[in-house]
Amino acid sequence: METEQEIKEDRNNLLLSFYLSFFCVLVLWLIKVLEVSLGAHFYWLGVYPRSLHGLLGIFTSSLIHKDFFHLGSNSLPLFMGIFMCFYYYRRIAFEIFTWVYFLSGIWVWLFARPHYHIGASGFIYGILSFLFFSGIIRRSPRLMTVSLIIIFMYGGMIWGVLPIEKGVSWESHALGALSGIILAIYFSKKGKLNLNNNSNNALQEWHYHSTDTSISPKEYNYEYKPKENKD
């Protein structure tokens, strides 16, 4: 039986996770609106592998999207990934978030093709991969439920790690997913998780509100543009 204090803490954690997720998605939309309003193109803020100026993209590439459709396709899985990470892994969520964000960007800079890589889907692959494999590794029934939800909603994203679709940075998807797997193993013994009864109820609620399959997984693209010829 949970105490009133535990219920209050869980409710506060639920709200905090929601607000953080909403804020992250809102920032991306504000950046896109600013870009369009200025008539500018921010693709140069993407990762350009193995170049000095491309290092900036490790910090900024996930904030930039090709167009509103690209951003819209990424918004729901980004929100869900951040929400579940902070709700269920609240003790170590900031560490996980930071490691996924920068590790996926660094690996793209090291190993991807020489193009500008932009978009949040590399991070999305990383965070969802972490949630999926962490649930399996920890062998927690409720965390494994999270893993099953990820399969149900985004299982088709597995095709994004293959070099199938032209104009899509499959390397970002693959390297993001790999970072999630490694971090799931690394953090397997770290952090006290939020696994009380309320967390299970919240999970069911978010599952109910997130079963919209109108967005095809293949649309979670981490787009890139070729480098401009300045000669």
pLDDT confidence of residue 196: 56
Q: For position 199, which CATH number holds?
A: 1.20.1540.10
Q: How many CB atoms lie within 10 A of CB 76?
A: 17
Query: Which pLDDT score is estimated for 173?
Result: 93
The total number of structural domains in the chain stands at 1
Beta bridge partners of 117: 47, 224
Mean pLDDT across the chain, nearest whole number?
A: 84
Residue 105 lies in a domain: yes
Classify residue 51: in a domain, yes or no.
Answer: yes
CA distance 106 to 58: 6
Highest mean pLDDT pick, 6-20, 149-163, 180-194 = 6-20
Q: Is residue 191 scored above 80 in pLDDT?
A: no
Whether 101 shows a pLDDT value over 90: the answer reads: yes
Average pLDDT over residues 197-219: 42
pLDDT of residue 164: 82
Q: What is the mean pLDDT of residues 116-135?
A: 93
Lowest mean pLDDT among 16-25, 26-35, 216-225: 216-225
Q: Is residue 184 part of a domain?
A: yes
**65 residue type, one letter:** H
Is 230 among the domain residues? no
pTM to 2 decimals?
A: 0.80
- Residues 153-171, mean pLDDT to the nearest whole number: 82
Helix ranges (H only) for 39-165 are 57-60, 68-88, 93-111, 121-138, 141-154
8-12, 25-29, 211-215, 223-227: least confident range: 211-215
Q: What is the pLDDT of residue 7?
A: 87
Close Cβ partners of 171 (under 8 Å, ≥ 6 residues apart): 108, 111, 112, 113, 117
Distance of alpha carbon 193 from the chain centroid:
20
How large a percentage of the chain has pLDDT more than 90?
60
Residue 231 in any domain: the answer is no
Q: In this model, does residue 116 exceed pLDDT 80?
A: yes
Q: Is residue 26 part of a domain?
A: yes
Q: Is 223 helix (H, G, I), strand (E, B) or coil?
A: strand
- Reference 46, options 103, 109, 102; nearest CA is 109
- The confidence band for 86, taking pLDDT boundaries of 50, 70 and 90, is very high
Which residues form the domain of 27? 4-225
**So what's the pLDDT on residue 195?**
58
What is the arithmetic mean of pLDDT over 193-200? 54
